[in-house]
Amino acid sequence: MFDVLVIGAGFSGLQAAYSAQQAGLSTVVLEARDRVGGKVWSVPLASGRGCAELGAAWINDTLQPRVWAYAQKFGMKVVKQRLEGQAVMEPGLDERFVFPFGVTPEFTEQEKKNLEHIRDHIQAESLKQGPLSGEDDNVTLDQYVRNLGALPKIIQMVNLWAQVMHGVEATEESAAWFIDYCRRNRGLLAIRADDASGGQYLRFQDGSQTIANRLADLIGTSKIHLSTPVATIDDHSSHVTVTSTKGQTFTARKVILSIPSTMYKELNISPRLPAAVQEVTNGTVLGDYNKAIVCYDRPWWRDLGFNGYFASYAGPVILARDTSVDEKRHFALTCFVNGEPGREWSKLVPHERRAAVLHQIARVFKQDRNSEAYRPIEVFDQIWQHERYSRGALAPITALGHLTRFREVYGRPVGNLHFVGTEYSPEWKGYMEGALCSGELGAEEVVRALRRRERALL
């Protein structure tokens, strides 16, 4: 019998297992995929020039201490997010304007003031302490900003925030959930920032998945069972029995479940989770969060004075960034195809998805069919909704009213079952740092529970 069995070898699960092990507990990890890392997935390029980050990619060296500590421990090199150059905004198929990156786009003076009013209001709310408003949890983010007097273009901008950050439309998440997400991530401005003040500051030269692979080595690869999906979890009060879809049986004193709450209902858990826990977790959804990574032989957009960043209401790409690693001669634009545009794009066959992205890149940067825009050396796309054991990204979003209504049970232990994941993290929710934080806290929770049990037996 193990002390702790962890289900899921993403960052949260690996950190939980490692922290438990460091506390002297025996651990075993079951992972459904044939790899560790979860929503962190770095795929080597055929060109040999590095890797494509299909999942989580960005970190901050001063604001995210856990992930940065691993970067230093494992000797990982980083590259700063490129900011130099002009950015592009595409309000519609026939509209486009270029502006200095980091400033308000060329809206009218009235629209600029309105955007600043909405942005500053949400920023102020996201820096407050204390409980969230039940009223805000029962209204969508879209209606919330309309109530604040948002103008049409500003409503579109807020919708873009929801698409980029969560893979949903502003009509599909509560204002309280959005504000809470910002609170856990040092405010709206920190989430949106690509410089040292925000979450998109640095990237790894050799891939984020290196951390997962090295963490697995620290835990011991013999203790991590890959390609082992879980079918049933039976909590017997004194211990838990977990059975895989292959019929393998594992026994532990405690189980840490490190999968998105959206997927709890797919497991046969006995006794059943409490009704309140089922209601809140059955109601969570994962956004349509997709990437298209277009790799080129050289960064041709820089020659035109652009830094590779563009945002679009027209789509299908809603936002793109230069994700090159110059040292490796890896030059790429990472395009996010999220929310409703992502849902439609994901229905296309692969060559149609690729064509749609290339056409938009050429359109945004005013390039013709003979340009380098149409001559990538490699193209990747990742539709996280199609990934069987992820079903979307970044963090599950609670239904309207559920975040405040179920705050006393959401993510809390049930019997010998404990729950971790970036969705529960008190800081940097939705990021690698948040996943590590939740895993660390989950292990501490288990250690305390086992010690209480031992004292009770004595």
Does 423 show up as a binding residue in the annotation?
A: yes
The alpha-helical segments, DSSP class H, found in 248-377 are 275-282, 300-303, 339-345, 350-364
Contact 237, 415 (CB under 8 A): yes
**Full domain range(s) for residue 265:** 2-39+208-273+414-457
Question: How many separate domains does the chain show?
Answer: 3
Residues 335 and 298 occupy one common structural domain: yes
Does 19 show up as a binding residue in the annotation?
A: no
Residue 401 neighbours by CB distance under 10 Å: 16
Which CATH number is 252's domain given? 3.50.50.60
Which CATH number is 172's domain given? 1.10.405.10
Task: Split the chain (458 residues) into runs of 10 and give each run's mean pLDDT.
Answer: 98 98 98 98 97 98 98 98 94 89 79 96 96 97 98 96 97 98 97 95 97 98 98 98 98 98 97 98 97 98 97 96 97 98 97 98 97 98 95 94 98 98 98 98 98 72
The answer to the question of residue 140 being in a domain is yes
The answer to the question of residue 347 being in a domain is yes
Q: Is 130 exposed, middle or buried (0-12, 13-18, 19+ CB in 10 A)?
A: exposed
The answer to the question of residue 394 being in a domain is no
Does 11 show up as a binding residue in the annotation?
A: no
Residues 212 and 187 occupy one common structural domain: no
The secondary element (H helix, E strand) that includes residue 87 is strand 86-92
The answer to the question of residue 354 being in a domain is yes
Does 101 show up as a binding residue in the annotation?
A: no
Last residue of a domain, one of 148, 165, 192: 192
The answer to the question of residue 50 being in a domain is no
Residues 303 and 240 occupy one common structural domain: no
Residue 37 φ/ψ region, left for φ over 0, alpha for ψ in the -120 to 50 degree band, beta for the rest:
left
Last residue of a domain, one of 138, 166, 192: 192
Which are the contacts of 335, defined by CB distance < 8 A and separation ≥ 6?
291, 292, 293, 294, 317, 319, 320, 357, 360, 361
Residues 175 and 241 occupy one common structural domain: no
Residues 298 and 381 occupy one common structural domain: yes
Task: Give pLDDT, residue 456.
Answer: 64
Task: Give pLDDT, residue 316.
Answer: 97
The answer to the question of residue 397 being in a domain is no
The answer to the question of residue 396 being in a domain is no
Residues 269 and 221 occupy one common structural domain: yes
Task: Give pLDDT, residue 102.
Answer: 72
Task: Give pLDDT, residue 77.
Answer: 98
What letter represents residue 404's amino acid?
A: T
The answer to the question of residue 234 being in a domain is yes
Does 327 show up as a binding residue in the annotation?
A: no
Residues 422 and 369 occupy one common structural domain: no
Which CATH number is 301's domain given? 3.90.660.10
Does 36 show up as a binding residue in the annotation?
A: no
